[in-house]
Structure 1
């Protein structure tokens, strides 16, 4: 790990950093996989959706582990320079992130289950459908909500990135470095 010039109390733990960046990359990759599937032929769409489902379940597992990690490892306090509304917005967006990181994969799995399907985890094993019975119309509605939730997630990710960049480069308070093993996070 690189040399840290910031105080450990101002920085997230190494485990939190690893979970953050792995999940962030997986979520963005899964969003792009879904977009490719949406514009692909029926055969190719099934192939890509197989990857989307498996990566979604992986994101669910990682998110549960991340949440457990967070409960056991307190997060650093937000910088004193944040306005009250910025602190409230950051907390709200992070809470919604956890809801979506857990809810979207479960919703997708539920939708697939309502079509009588299961989730193939890249040929390693298969997660059976949830025991909900087959109800295609309900499955369509759940998948529709899943898609809408995914779109909301992407907008919130953009807001999160803009906020981190604003604080790091405009306010120069080192916010981005709180989630990186290098640089100087400020209080």
Structure 2
């Protein structure tokens, strides 16, 4: 087979280069659904009856740990698989804003569940109330936090809880910007970026 023919076969199509890989697409939508579901669980916990609060909180924790693992996988995949470029027609400021927003979203996908894990590990009753991942097996708390002085641990529990809450607010704002930007490109600019992230 001649070199020209081999290059045609081995070279990815323009359509493929303009889209994320299947793994990236799967991780994107799975993480998005889990995070939205976890927001709903977190906000609804205070309005539930006592019988439902603990199962909902435990599910919220399990989803958070799952998101943390998936986010780390997604970051590793992105590092090893270059994402498709944004359309050339986009102005420079918009490309920079998109990159900054993506970086902050990745940061929150790590920081939000991690702050929740720290908050849970500093809980005064953590030692007597093991955490089980979706009820399947026990998930460890962060050991050095659990073994701190009780007074310090109580303070950290409050601070990590406040941090977790504020990171949640930051996530809401970034998600609104992310979705709003995608819809703007789709319906106003007529330069769809959604097709890069759909199967």
The TM-score with structure 1 as length reference comes to 0.89
The SS at the match of 1:105 is helix
Q: Output the CA distance in 1 between the equivalents of 2:47 and 2:154.
A: 22
Q: Compared with structure 1, are the counterparts of its residues 145 and 77 closer, same or farther at alpha carbon in structure 2 (3 Å cutoff)?
A: same
Give the CA deviation at 1:66: 0.7
Equivalent residue number for residue 120 of structure 1? 132
Q: Output the CA distance in 2 between the equivalents of 1:106 and 1:83.
A: 35
Q: Output the CA distance in 2 between the equivalents of 1:71 and 1:168.
A: 27
2:70 matches 1:62: yes
Give the CA deviation at 1:125: 1.0
Higher relative contact order (CA 8 A, sep 6+): 1
1:109·1:119 contact (CA, 8 Å) conserved in 2? no
For the pair shown, which has the larger CA radius of gyration, 1 or 2? 2
Q: What do residues 7-34 of structure 1 show as CA deviations (whole Å, max 9, x unaligned)?
A: 1111111111000000000000000010
Gaps of 5+ in 2: 1-12
Equivalent residue number for residue 139 of structure 1? 157
2:147 matches 1:129: no
Give the superposed CA RMSD.
1.5
Equivalent residue number for residue 87 of structure 2? 79
Aligned length: 177
- Which of these residues, 17, 22, 34, is aligned with residue 26 of structure 1? 34
| Deviant stretches of 4+, over 4 Å | none
Gaps of 5+ in 1: 182-187
Q: What do residues 96-141 of structure 1 show as CA deviations (whole Å, max 9, x unaligned)?
A: 1111101111110111101142532011111121011251121111
- Which of these residues, 156, 165, 183, is aligned with residue 165 of structure 1? 183
2:173 matches 1:155: yes
Q: Output the CA distance in 1 between the equivalents of 2:50 and 2:97.
A: 41
The SS at the match of 2:108 is helix
The SS at the match of 2:173 is helix
1:59·1:105 contact (CA, 8 Å) conserved in 2? yes
Q: Which has the higher helix share?
A: 2
The SS at the match of 2:101 is helix
